[in-house]
Amino acid sequence: MNRAFRNTTIALGLAALSSTGFSQSAVDIGLYQNNGVLEVKVRPEADFSGIFSSLVFTIRWEASSTADLGAVGQDGPAGQMISVDRSGGVREEGPFKYAVYAGFGMNPMSSNGVSWQAGHEYTIATIPVTGKGEFELVNDAYTGERANNANFYSALGGSDRTGIIYKGLAAAEEDGSILVQPNPSNGRFIVGFTNETKGDVTVDMVNSLGQSVFNETVRDMEGSFRKEMDLTTQGAGAYYLKIKRGANTTTHKIIVR
């Protein structure tokens, strides 16, 4: 067989394989805090068991806080998907500190008996926290600079499959029963939670000036609450979601960009 023809045939075969077995939908990323440990989770939009080839994400927190981050941990399937570690030291820019993380994979996840299901969350890394502070997954002016090249990025089989940051903010103390997705957002997001004990529930959203932009009280509520919020007419900035269930009130910071 002519060598040029053979090489062309191989290239076409690889291209066909890439467009079928390795052509995937996006991979999203979220950040949670649980008992003093940050949990970085990925959420694929399609089933996948191939090579999780690249991952980059940046965590930001206020430089004035007492908070700091420890070494990355990866247990069980996490390390079999992709190896993740900090890229360089903590960097300070303006009022914030930044920690950039990068991961690389070489082997199909299926070779370790690992596979993804569409829409499920998978913890890819854990990072212990010291001190108190709010941490956020960000794409901002700093991460977007070419010299830093630290915007969120994910690749499957060598192809860019970067999705969205569906949960960017991890507060010092989180109520895991409260769902706010995505956060940060463009002003449209979903608020959801479950009230296990029957009683009055008040949902109040205030802006940074303390002005209420949404307020709703549900009488004698028991079960699930779900609300599609739209703050696109309110403008970008920080908002605070206050949920009162009986004598218990929790506050959750929401970022609109």
Whether the predicted pLDDT of 4 surpasses 90: no
Mean pLDDT of the chain: 85
Q: 225's torsion region: left (phi>0), alpha (psi -120 to 50) or beta?
A: beta
**CA proximity to 106, closest of 81, 76, 72, 85:** 81
Domains for the chain: give ranges and CATH numbers.
25-170 (2.60.40.680), 179-256 (2.60.40.3080)
pLDDT band, very low/low/confident/very high, at 13 (cuts 50, 70, 90): very low
Q: What is the pLDDT of residues 124-134, one digit of tens each?
A: 999 999 987 78
Q: What is the pLDDT of residues 205-233, one digit of tens each?
A: 988 777 889 999 999 998 889 899 999 99
Q: How far apart are CA 23 and CA 27, in angstroms?
A: 12
Tokens of 100: 């950039």
> What's the mean pLDDT in 140-154?
95
Q: How many CA atoms lie within 13 A of 257 on its CB side?
A: 10
The CA–CA distances, whole Å, from 161 to 8, 90, 150, 247 equal: 26, 27, 16, 45
Give 228's DSSP letter: E
Which residue type occupies 23?
A: S
Q: 237's torsion region: left (phi>0), alpha (psi -120 to 50) or beta?
A: left
The CA–CA distances, whole Å, from 178 to 16, 164, 185, 192 equal: 43, 20, 16, 6
What does the pLDDT read at residue 170?
A: 78
Q: What is the pLDDT of residues 32-58, one digit of tens each?
A: 888 889 999 999 999 999 999 999 999
